[in-house]
Structure 1
Amino acid sequence: MVLQQDLSQKESAGSGHFGVSLLFKENTPFPDRDTLLNILKKHLGDVTLMSSGENMAVFSADKYKVTIDGHELTPQLVLMKCAEIDKPLLDDIAATQLWNCEDAETILEECHYRIAATDMLSAVLDYREHAKMLTEYTEALTEAFPGCEALLFENSKKMHAREDIVNCDLPQDFRFIHYAVNVRFFRLEGSDDFIVDSLGMSMLGLPDAQYHFHGLNVSHVINHAYALLSYLFDNGSVIKPGDTFDGVAEDGEITSEVQWQLNYEESLIQPAREVLDVNTGVYAAGDR
């Protein structure tokens, strides 16, 4: 997407919030209670149906435990009944960043219904456990609703065709970022400057990454972003302002011979949030 220079930051990114919309061409009911419970248990282990009404069902993921105000609780998984989509799911910026869903435009045109899913009481989980639970929940939903055309993650606006998740064979630790974290790409109008940033790590309480640069292969920067996000997932928020991280050589390989400095800054592109800004050295653009 080409962006004008006066970048908007009116919207703020949520923190710790998970939401995903399952998109359908037709109004789709829930499977019967036993079928849905068995599928959830297959992916999440012990699951208890806590309530089921006209508009939603709530389950507890019993193998995950959280402590809030001295009380041990279990995270809750919420599933909203299928409803007609009454307004666009994506704004103009988000609609240009659906790189990993080849038929995204057609799916959005043809799907008029959605089932919304979210979680509660889980933000205090260890982020790795939280990621594992959300990955298991996502995979359970794709099995429970075979008529789903695609899944749209609300925080990051990343979209996957259902088959992409059903057929995913990545190791467990790589799946959350693959499913739910969007690495975006923009060119600034009237310049040779580019911005690559990520959106979605806040669901785990981890920072997103941002690059403002020129003269680098954008694909190489995107690959670097995924490597940096994987490092953050493996190690947590261990990066301090001024730390360095291996950069990209001319051939696109990440190498210790190139060091890029990292600092925490306000994001250049909405939603407004603190990001880990990557200074690409001689390729850096903008004021730092």
Structure 2
Amino acid sequence: MLFFKKKKKEEKQDSEQKYIGPDPVFIIHLLMEDKCVIPEKESMVKIMEKHLGDVQCNKFENNMTGFLALNYTTHFKDAEDAPPQLMITECQKIEKPLLDDVSRSQLWDCEDSEQILNTCKYQVIANDMMAVGMYYKDRADMLVNYAEALVEMFPSCKAVLFENSKKMMTREEILNNSYPKETKFIYYAVHARYFKNQDSDDYLVDTLGMSTFFMPDLQYYFHGMNPNNAIQSAYSLLCYMFENENPIKSGDTVNGNVDGEINPDVKWKVYYTDAMMKPERAVIDVNTGEFASGKR
């Protein structure tokens, strides 16, 4: 957990506020303790087809492998639709830290994160290209399947770091999780962070990663409530937004979280505003009623 200092000036609320996004490229870091060898082409194709259906290996060189994901479609405004491209680099030495101090402090939900970062000196980088025009649920499905293919392809991988949200998961978590398939991306690659105000007993919980889908992140500023309740509320609300193309407008209410359970009898009002923590972006601020801090 990191401490923060509240801005003196309250953020301006704006019902027409737009979020920053989307992320044109989704980047995945596969962390290794030792340098690994890229699998043979036939092995890579077999694993990719297992998870993603038909693929075409359109580039296979010493430093980069590219696949067209033929079962998925990217929509272009002034050109024909085409499949997105999935790229995988060679294994390379990590030359500089992948996370700054703030991001490193937020790996609270990844077991042994410090040991992983300290011992993993190599990485394979994977990303998607020409995917920003995909229907967001298709892109999420593709990226989840891609991540699962990658951890099978590289058994020496210790953990996966999703660049866009700075969330880390161990290889075992990805191989053995029981998240619902429809919203698995939310739990994989959208990160809930939490901070404490250094001048008070106020807490801030926010999320990072929804810009991949042209959607805003969430923000909770509160006191007197278990931060886990805000985190549980955030993931529940993110799944609702994802499943329903984010129908939320400023002034709407959402179900509150009481004693760790979503309670439809408790309503929390929401507004679009500016994020209190970097990166700068618009978020949906959730007013937690009797637990809310700050002015709204």
Scaled by the length of structure 1, what TM-score is found?
0.94
Question: Partner letter of residue 270 of structure 1?
Answer: K
- In the aligned structure 2, how far is the partner of 1:155 from the partner of 1:109? 21
Equivalent in the alignment of 1:37: 45
- 195, 212, 219: which one pairs with 1:203? 212
Distance in 1 (alpha carbons) for counterparts of 2:112 and 2:171: 11
- CA RMSD of superposed structures (Å): 1.5
Q: Is the 8 A contact 1:19 1:155 kept in 2?
A: yes
Partners of 1:121 and 1:53 in 2: CA distance:
20
User: Counterpart of 2:73?
Assistant: 65
SS at match of 1:117: strand
Aligned mate of 1:127, from 136, 145, 151: 136
Instruction: Give SS of 1:66's match.
Output: coil
Q: Among 183, 191, 194, which residue is 1:185 paired with?
A: 194
Change (3 A) 1:271 1:4: same
Q: Is the 8 A contact 2:240 2:246 kept in 1?
A: no
Quote how far apart the aligned CAs of 1:67 are: 2.4
Amino acid at match of 1:276: I
| Paired letter, 2:234 | A
Please list every run of at least 4 consecutive aligned residues from structure 1 whose deviation after the TM superposition is greater than 6 angstroms: none
Structure 2 distance, partners of 1:140, 1:285, is: 43
Match of 2:164 in 1: 155
- After the TM superposition, which residues 50-199 of structure 1 pair with which residues of structure 2 at under 5 Å, given as runs? 50-68=58-76, 69-199=78-208
**Separation in 1 of the partners of 2:178 and 2:237?**
21
In the alignment of these two chains, the number of paired residues is 283
Describe the shift of the 1:90–1:164 C-alpha distance in structure 2 as closer, same or farther (beyond 3 A).
same
CA distance in 2, matches of 1:234, 1:246: 16
CA separation in 2, counterparts of 1:252 and 1:23? Answer: 33
Preserved CA contact (<8 Å) 2:6 2:197: no
Tell me how far apart the structure 2 counterparts of residues 180 and 27 of structure 1 sit (CA, whole Å): 25
- Percent identity of equivalent pairs: 45
Whether the aligned pair in 1 keeps the contact of 2:273 and 2:285 (CA below 8 Å) is: yes
Asked if 1:227 is matched to 2:236, the reply is yes
Runs (5+) with no aligned partner, structure 1:
none
**Paired position in structure 2 for 1:283:** 291
**Residue of structure 2 equivalent to 1:2:** 2
Q: Distance in 1 between matches of 2:176 and 2:31?
A: 18
How much does 1:181 deviate?
0.9
Following the alignment from structure 1 to structure 2, what is the Cα–Cα distance between the partners of residues 247 and 83? 46
- What's the CA shift for 1:201? 1.3
